[in-house]
Amino acid sequence: MRKRTIFLLILAVVLACVLFFCRFYFLGTSSDPVNAKTNADFQIPDFHSQTDKDADGIDDQTDLLQGARAYIATQPRYKSKYYETGYPNDGYGVCTDVIANAMLSAGYDLKELVAEDVAAHPEEYDIDEPNPNIDFRRVRNLKVYFAHTAIPLT
């Protein structure tokens, strides 16, 4: 029984080492946590939008991508919580905050945009009492909003 226990312990250590190595091999190092590929890796030309809402000299598509990456880099912890200001400011967040922060970095206030769309199409949102501080952080509401405002891609 003792030999079996030692064998299982050694096996567990080896497995842990393999998993640790694979994490860095497949996910990259801490300086490149996702080992991100670029369009050039797939021979896809870069696309730059013609719009620069916040007039910072960076097109909106690039702003959105950089904003999403910047938000994710803060490593927010998941917590579904109500914020009086709408936007979390305490290191917590939910999945929709990635979208909201990316849009905000490009000059689009998703909180304001969703509130305007809820007012224009209340019957489509199924909201008893609209609240701009939370409505833009709900996936079902974003689904309705983007159905009204986004162009679907195949």
Domain count within the chain: 2
What are the pLDDT tens digits along the chain (154 aa)? 565 555 555 655 555 555 555 554 444 444 554 567 788 889 988 888 899 999 999 999 999 999 999 999 999 999 999 999 999 999 999 999 999 999 999 999 999 999 999 999 999 999 999 999 999 999 999 999 999 999 887 7
Please give the Cα distance from 125 to 105 (Å, whole number).
Answer: 26
**Cβ contact 14:28 at 8 Å:** no
Residues 91 and 127 in one domain: yes
Which two three-digit tokens encode residue 64? 């959105």
Is 44 inside any structural domain?
no
Residues 64 and 125 in one domain: yes
Residues 16 and 62 in one domain: no
Please give the Cα distance from 93 to 114 (Å, whole number).
Answer: 18
Residues 23 and 56 in one domain: no
Is 47 inside any structural domain?
no
Residues 58 and 128 in one domain: yes
Residues 23 and 86 in one domain: no
Identify the domain containing residue 28 by its residue range.
1-36
Which residues lie below 8 Å from residue 43, measured CB to CB, with a gap of 6+? none
Residues 75 and 18 in one domain: no
How high is the pLDDT of residue 92? 95
Is 128 inside any structural domain?
yes
How high is the pLDDT of residue 30? 46
Single pTM value for the model: 0.72
**Cβ contact 117:147 at 8 Å:** no
